[in-house]
Structure 1
C-alpha cells in the first residue's frame, strides 16, 4: 500500500486573493517504510529541539514561519529559515519517498474555474498512474494507494474521488488520439477508500509536506526574505526524490495548470 500525504500552499480563491498560485503537493511512501520514516523523523525533530529550541509539540507551519511566527519568534529568523532547509534536506536525502507537485496559475483562469477540483483531480490521477505503472520507489507489485490530506474540504474531496471511480475523462494521447478519441474514461482502479483527513498539528509527516508545498510556491511568488536568502530555490534540492513520471515538460517535474 502506498500512502499519499498531501498539503497545500496558497488559496483557491480567484477573486481578491493574496496569492497568484495554488500549490498542492503529495509525499508518497510505502506502508512498509512508514515506521522507519517515522523513527527518522522523530530523531530529526529531537535534533531540531536540541539545536534550534523547536519543541516536538510545536508545529512547523511554513507560511507564517518566516514573517509571522507567533511564539516561535524566540527562534532567530535565520534559524527558522535553516529549519525549513533542513526539512527539505531530510526528504531530499532519502530513497524511500516520492514527491508530486501540482501548481495552478490562478491569474490565467476564468471565474468559473474550480481550482480545488482541478488541482486535486490532477494529483490523484498522477498518483493512480504511477502506482499502475509501478514507478514508485521499490516497485512493489500489485499495490494500491490511500490518500491522507491535511484538513481541507473533505466533503468535496470525497465526492471527487468517488466520482473518479466511475467517471474520469482524461485527454487521449498517441494511439487513441489517432483513432479520433478526444478523451478516455480512465476510472480509478488503484486509489482506494475515501480520503482520511489529518490535522497537521499532530502529524510530523504533514508538517514536512507543508514545507515542501510552501517551497514549491516560493519558486513562483517568493517573499522578499526567502528571495534574499535564496530560500526560493529550496525546492530544487528535492530533485532526487521528485516523481519524474508526473510530467516531463518541467525541469522539476511540476505539473502546471
Structure 2
C-alpha cells in the first residue's frame, strides 16, 4: 500500500493588514517549504547553526531571532553589537540559500494601491495557498513523490480567518485564467484545493527555529520595498537575493526574484 508524503509550509507575516493610518505601505507574507522526510535533518542543521551563532556571536539558543526589533530595538540583545546582529541575519539567509531541500516563496501586497474594501490578509494568504497547492500538485518542490500533500504551519496570525479561507477554497476557489486557458472563454476557473490537508496549525515563533528563519526572509523581502535607514545604508535591498538558489521559480516567473506582487 502506497502512502502520501507531506510538504510542510512554514509562514510568517511582516507588516500589518490595515489600509488606513498604517505605519507600513506593504504587507509581506513569506513561506518556507520542507518535505517531511527532510524535516529532522533540517532541524538538526538549524540547531548546529544556532550553536555556531552562540559560539561566535553570543546569541543563546533560547533567544528569539525576530528580525525587525533585532536590528532597531533589540532589548537585552543590545549586548550584541549591531553589526554582529546584522551579520547574524546575513548568515541566516546564507544558511537557507545554501540548502537543496527547501523552497521559499513571498507574497507582497502594495496597500497604497488598494480600495478601502480590499482584504489584504485574505488576498495575500489566498495567493500563497494557491501557489503552495499548485507546486505540490505539479511536483515541483525538491524531491518528487507519486502522491504528495501539503500542510500549513503559520506563525501566530488570525487563525480563525485563515481556517475559514482554507475551508472555503476547498469548495469555491475562482482563479483567474492564465493565457493557456483563455480560449475556454470564461475569465476564471474554480480550482478547488485538493493537495493541502487539514486546517492550519498555528505556532509561536518564539519556540520555533524554523519560523524565526522565515521571519528573517520576510524582513529581507521588506527591505526591497521599505528599507529602514540603517538597512538602506547596509545595502539591505540586496539581502533577499541571497535566497535566489532556493526561491520557488514557479510562483512568479516574470519577477527576477519570483515575488508574487499584488
Task: Tell me which interval the TM-score lies in, with the shorter structure as reference length.
Answer: over 0.9
Residues 105-120 of structure 1 correspond to what in structure 2 (within 5 A)? Answer: 105-120=110-125
Partner Cα distance (2:110, 2:179) in 1 = 27
Residue 138 of structure 1 deviates from its aligned partner by 1.0
Q: 1:88 aligns with which of 60, 85, 93?
A: 93
- Aligned partner of 1:35 in structure 2 is 40
Q: 1:15 aligns with which of 4, 10, 20?
A: 20
Partner Cα distance (1:159, 1:175) in 2 = 30
Q: 2:190 aligns with which of 178, 181, 185?
A: 185
Partner Cα distance (1:65, 1:252) in 2 = 25
Structure 1 counterpart SS, 2:106 = strand
Q: Is contact 2:135–2:250 with CA below 8 Å preserved after alignment?
A: yes
Consecutive unaligned residues in structure 2, runs of 5 or more: 1-5
- Aligned partner of 1:200 in structure 2 is 205
Q: Is it true that 1:212 corresponds to 2:212 in the alignment? A: no
What is the CA deviation profile of residues 97-131 of structure 1, one whole-angstrom value per residue up to 9, with x for unaligned ones? 00010000000001110000000000000000000
Residue 140 of structure 1 deviates from its aligned partner by 2.2
Residue 175 of structure 1 deviates from its aligned partner by 4.6
- Aligned partner of 2:52 in structure 1 is 47
Q: Is it true that 1:156 corresponds to 2:161 in the alignment? A: yes
Runs of 4+ in 1 over 3 A off after TM superposition: none
- Aligned partner of 1:132 in structure 2 is 137
- CA-based RMSD: 0.7
Partner Cα distance (1:198, 1:175) in 2 = 38
Counting matched residue pairs gives 257
Residue 4 of structure 1 deviates from its aligned partner by 0.2
Structure 2 counterpart SS, 1:122 = helix
Structure 1 counterpart SS, 2:72 = coil
Q: Is contact 1:8–1:214 with CA below 8 Å preserved after alignment?
A: no
Structure 1 counterpart SS, 2:62 = coil
Consecutive unaligned residues in structure 1, runs of 5 or more: none
What is the CA deviation profile of residues 65-115 of structure 1, one whole-angstrom value per residue up to 9, with x for unaligned ones? 111001100000000000000000010000000001000000000111000
Q: TM-score, normalised by structure 2?
A: 0.97
Partner Cα distance (2:192, 2:156) in 1 = 25
Structure 1 counterpart SS, 2:148 = coil
Q: Is contact 1:91–1:241 with CA below 8 Å preserved after alignment?
A: yes
Q: TM-score, normalised by structure 1?
A: 0.99
What is the CA deviation profile of residues 178-222 of structure 1, one whole-angstrom value per residue up to 9, with x for unaligned ones? 121111100000000000000000000000000000100111110
